[in-house]
Structure 1
Amino acid sequence: MAGVALLALLGAATPASAHNTLVSSDPAEGAQLEEGPSRVTLTFDQTVQDAGVNQIAVTGPDGGQWIDGDVEVDSNVVSAPLRPLGPAGEYIIGFRILSADGHPVEKEIRFTLTKAGTGTPGSAAATEASPDDTAAPASDSSGGIPVWVWIIAAVVLLGVGVTVALRMGSSGEDKKS
């Protein structure tokens, strides 16, 4: 009886969804660019949740912020417009997105501007917060079965197993007498 219940529970279990994985970016990791791009575009392997919490920040070699507008989500593509870039050097794209399974995913991508541009960075107040400065969105929707369900199921199965064992043991004693 307990074995059948355990098999039923295991058969009903669904695998947990995996976090989104970055498939490509424009600019690409390690790119050497003579001219700055007008947008940052990130492509993922799964749809990104458009919950208004997705962020992209681009920090220049001078510490200036270069994002020039809101982050846009279109299925599995997340993008944001850039100001014309300024000083030559390494730029860091930091992003934090809400994965299809409800968990945040963050990463940094580095590229180099080989020739100085004419742009000036935006003010810190006008740009998005960097991914490290933002709290993770609260979400329990992992797509899998919550741990507490497994704990309750284990307690119930243990109780059923003990009850069956006690009844079988007591009925066996009655037959011997």
Structure 2
Amino acid sequence: MIRGTTRWGRRFALVATLLMVTLGAAAGPAAAHSAVVSSDPADGATVEVGPQRATITFNEPLQPNFPAMTVVGPDGNLWSKGEPIVDGRTLSVAVGELGPAGRYRMAYRVTSADGHVVDGERGFTLSRAGNGTPGPAANAQGGNGGSGDGIPVWVYIVGAIVLFGGGLAFALFGSNLGKGKNQR
């Protein structure tokens, strides 16, 4: 035992250590999600002819579990064809010949290497109308591919506060609970 250390000092050190460990564990998974590094067409680009495949590249390999990617035109219809494919760090979906000129949205949802779901949207503008045939309306397919099914960060923060509060209560009052019964 260190000289001059009181019971309260040891309890404070224990609680502080528990807090640091809890907050470190909560912050770790939240910071490890995959991030988009590029797309084809590039986000915000203007193209005269649409691509054969729309592609989004991430900073790390993706899990192939349940990817989603759609290309939705300015008319609200799907222009992507078939199922999306994950290949390492890349997510892509086939795109037929596009139709009306205007902004096209590439919505995506993937599973990061750490198991968390990441979703978002990129977009490009078609400057010259094509002759393609659209698919069904985007909302008929269950949305546009990005609704945020991952665990929000606030859940980790609330968990950390609850764990900290429980540890603090135990450290401050836990050892005193048994003393009252034995002293009578």
2:39 to 25, 38, 43: 25
Whether 1:36 and 2:15 are equivalent positions in the alignment is no
1:50 aligned residue: 64
Q: TM-score, normalised on structure 1?
A: 0.70
Distance 1:150 1:124 in 2: 44
Distance 1:93 1:154 in 2: 44
1:59 aligned residue: 72
Q: Secondary structure at the match of 2:169?
A: helix
Whether 1:151 and 2:165 are equivalent positions in the alignment is no
Whether 1:5 and 2:14 are equivalent positions in the alignment is yes
Q: Secondary structure at the match of 1:16?
A: helix
More helix per residue: 1 or 2? Answer: 2
The alpha-carbon distance between structure 1 residues 112 and 166, as it changes in their structure 2 partners (threshold 3 A), is: closer
2:3 aligned residue: none
Among the aligned pairs, what percent are the same residue?
35
Distance 1:107 1:136 in 2: 8
Equivalent position amino acid for 1:151 in 2: V
Residues 24-80 of structure 1: CA distance to partner in whole angstroms, max 9, x if unpaired? 11001121212210011111223333321x221212233321111111112321111
Distance 2:112 2:168 in 1: 34
Aligned residues: 163
Whether 1:94 and 2:107 are equivalent positions in the alignment is yes
1:118 to 102, 106, 131: 131
1:81, distance to aligned residue in structure 2 (A) = 0.9
Return structure 1 stretches of 4+ with deviation > 6 angstroms: none
Q: How big is the alpha-carbon RMSD for the aligned residues of Structure 1 and Structure 2?
A: 3.6
Unmatched segments (≥5 aa) in structure 2: 1-9, 179-184
Equivalent position amino acid for 2:87 in 1: D
2:7 aligned residue: none
The answer (yes or no) to whether the contact 1:71–1:80 under 8 Å persists in 2 is yes
Residues 87-133 of structure 1: CA distance to partner in whole angstroms, max 9, x if unpaired? 333222222333445444333322122223232112349x954336x
More strand per residue: 1 or 2? Answer: 2
